[in-house]
Amino acid sequence: MEIWSDLSALISAFASQDSWTIRQALAPNTVYIFSAVFLLIAGLGLSWVYHHVPIIERYFERTVMITCYLAIAAIIFWGVVDRFVFSNQQPWSTTIPPFLFMVMAWFGAAYNVRVRTHLSFSEFRTRMPRGGQIACLWMDFFLWFGFALIFLVTTMRVVALSASNFQIVLGTDNTMQWWFLLGAPLAATLMAARAVENIQDDMKKFRDGRPLIEQAVIGGDT
């Protein structure tokens, strides 16, 4: 069957660690099926980690976000000093910060799936009957899981394309763009895991009779 041959080709491509072979193996649309299975398994595994290792659940994405933010601030600060004090400028000082910002945004999006600050409509949902609330929460799960699936497949293709073309960050000699772009599929996996974690918590609240909808606060904690 075609699906099994595509799966075999994909596994062989990743085993070979050849970017061109991986790029070709990611082309068929059957990759969406394999990626959905991967995200479901990875989501269940990571949600178990989140529930049993609170320090990872609370701080992993935020640590990546803050690290990227501080790195961006440091590069920009030194770029200003270097330009106006020493009349010099590092060629990569304007090209690396955008990549760091993208990584920060991707991991931030994954974290905010958990805290439900992405258009949660909590004011409207709290007025709905309990059955409608759980239906909306399941809709959230499928929407976020579907978004993570599309995000994973498309960005993996971009990563493979960048690696196969040996795209270097402008202003550097050997810093590859795909090193930063790889953060996107990693963030997609975290999004799926957060969606799984949320629906598991929602179903537990539903069975226990606890309130399902809570007011989302931007910058709030889980």
Q: Name the residue range of residue 192's domain.
A: 2-208
The answer to whether residue 219 is domain-embedded is no
The answer to whether residue 176 is domain-embedded is yes
- pLDDT above 90 coverage of the chain, percent: 59
Q: How far apart are CA 197 and CA 202, in angstroms?
A: 9
Q: How many folded domains does the chain comprise? A: 1
The pLDDT of residue 216 is 63
The pLDDT of residue 150 is 96
Instruction: Compute the half-sphere exposure of residue 221: CA atoms within 13 Å on the CB side of its CA.
Output: 5
Q: How far apart are CA 148 and CA 184, in angstroms?
A: 10
The pLDDT of residue 221 is 58
Q: How far apart are CA 26 and CA 100, in angstroms?
A: 25
The answer to whether residue 214 is domain-embedded is no
The answer to whether residue 213 is domain-embedded is no
* Angle between helical axes of 183-208 and 130-164 (0-180°, round to 10): 170
Which long-range contacts does 35-42 make (Cβ < 8 Å, 24+ apart)? 35/149, 35/152, 35/153, 35/156, 36/149, 38/152, 38/189, 39/145, 39/148, 39/149, 39/152, 39/188, 39/189, 39/192, 40/192, 40/196, 42/189, 42/192, 42/193
The answer to whether residue 44 is domain-embedded is yes
The answer to whether residue 218 is domain-embedded is no
pLDDT digits 0-9 by tens, 35-77: 999 999 999 999 999 999 999 999 999 999 999 999 999 999 9
The answer to whether residue 216 is domain-embedded is no
Task: Kindly report the pTM of this predicted structure.
Answer: 0.89
The answer to whether residue 125 is domain-embedded is yes
pLDDT digits 0-9 by tens, 159-214: 999 999 999 999 888 899 999 999 999 999 999 999 999 999 999 998 988 888 87
